[in-house]
Structure 1
Amino acid sequence: MTSNRDAVLAAAQRTLNVDPGASVADIAQAAGVSRATVHRHFESREALLVELGTRSLDQWEQRMDAGDLEAVAASGDAARIRALLEALVRGYVEDADTYGFALTDHVILANADLVARTERLADRETGLFVAAQAAGVLSPALPGRWFGHAVYGLLVAGREAVRLGDVAPREAADLVLTTLFSGITAPSSTAPSSTAPSSTAPGAPA
């Protein structure tokens, strides 16, 4: 039987994903309980958000543990590394549907304990990205830590695209993976030049 606390957390997830600015009253109404009941379990809206942020980090950690991340990274096996990256990203897209608001909520992003734990988990994940670079799965030309930021940005983009109806939910994971592994340029395109564009006006002599 679902407890009031679990009902409040589930309602908060649903409500905040639709309206990140939802109040305690909004969450209580969605849970079918009073504001007093919400405050009996969480002393403030911030405490409720921190609990949800903790759960989102728990899920991130569980996915890395389930994939035996460190062992796969240490193997140096390109096929295993790519397979794990794909599995993780697909899982992250799924989690973004549940905890999407946590990706950008300022209370969660400013909480010192959550920030510290996020850094530790990001360090673990970066180990896999670095191993992927060494195995030829990801480009060695970029900083290893950059890939985590790129995935984060793609998760936010994917979630927004689904919310706005620009892509179907079932397409999100494939789009994120394609963008991560192949980018958005045509295969024949080259990397951007580091040379500043010419200021010569069109038609003017060189």
Structure 2
Amino acid sequence: MAVSRDQILTKATEHLNHSPAASMAEIAQSVGISRATLHRHFATREALMVALGWRALDAWQGVHERIGLGETPAGERLEETLHALLIAQIEAAENYGFALTEQAMETDRALVTRAEELEAKEIELISACQRAGILRADFPPIWVSNTLYGLLLAVRESLRRGDVARRDIPRLVLETFLRGTTS
């Protein structure tokens, strides 16, 4: 049975979320294909990671689109958008957690540029929330953004190791983030 590129990417993502340092041989085995077949699709591990990085960034952009981050929220909508971002990022971290620390995400210039563009949209929301008094204004917006990133790493590791029940993650993220950064 032939396996499509999309199926390879999906299975590789699932495997890497449980074993981020997996070799190409381990990834191929988890997909159910030979290493040679995997190499026909992706010549190197880095090429595979870059393809997976694009998928992760597409998912991140999808989060922005679902919550209306491109729009300019005001008033109550600001807080609602912030909460929606936090909850949606949990799902993204669960589905693409490996990408949070994958080296290819930091070395491929096109991936870095796209990630910076997406992060800039979140920083705009954070800044607007700070101006509205929803978030503390005494922290630089990039620090608040980095705090969210750190929480997403905690989500990834907690789920990967089974330290925290999946059902508790939204509450833990919201309370940790909001109690530490709210006015």
TM-score, scaled relative to structure 1: 0.82
Contact 2:159 2:166 in 1 (8 A): yes
Q: 1:14 — aligned with what?
A: 14
Count residues in correspondence.
181
Instruction: Please tell me whether the aligned partners of residues 86 and 174 of structure 2 are also in contact (alpha carbons under 8 angstroms).
Output: yes
Could you say which residue in structure 1 is the equivalent of 2:155? 158
Alpha-carbon deviation of 1:99? 0.6
Gaps of 5+ in 2: none
Q: Residue 126 of structure 1 contacts residue 145 of structure 1 at CA under 8 Å; is this kept in 2? A: yes
Deviation at 1:50, TM superposition (A): 0.6
Which of the pair has more CA radius of gyration? 1
- Identity value in percent: 43
Q: Deviations over 1:47-98 (max 9, x none)?
A: 111111111111111211222224243xx31x21111111111111111111
Q: Distance in 1 between matches of 2:107 and 2:172?
A: 30
| Distance across 2 between alignment mates of 1:149 and 1:141 | 15
Q: What's the counterpart of residue 27 of structure 2? A: 27
Quote the RMSD (CA, aligned, Å): 1.8
- Aligned partner letter, 2:15: T
Structure with more relative contact order (C-alpha pairs < 8 Å, separation 6 or more): 2
In the alignment, structure 1 segments of 5+ residues that lack a partner are 185-206
1:3 shift after superposition:
4.4
Amino acid of the structure 1 residue aligned with 2:123: T
Whether 2:133 is the aligned partner of 1:136: answer: yes
> How much does 1:10 deviate?
1.5
Question: Is structure 2 residue 165 aligned with structure 1 residue 168?
Answer: yes
Which letter maps to 1:12?
A: A
Aligned-partner residue type, residue 27 of structure 1: I
Is the 1:70–1:127 Cα contact (8 Å) retained in structure 2? no
Q: Normalization by structure 2: what TM-score?
A: 0.92
The ranges of structure 1 where at least 4 consecutive aligned residues each deviate by more than 4 angstroms after the TM superposition are: none
How does 1:93-132 map onto structure 2 within 5 Å? 93-132=90-129
Give SS of 1:69's match. Answer: coil
- What is the letter of the counterpart of residue 122 of structure 1? E
Give the counterpart letter for 2:175 in structure 1: T
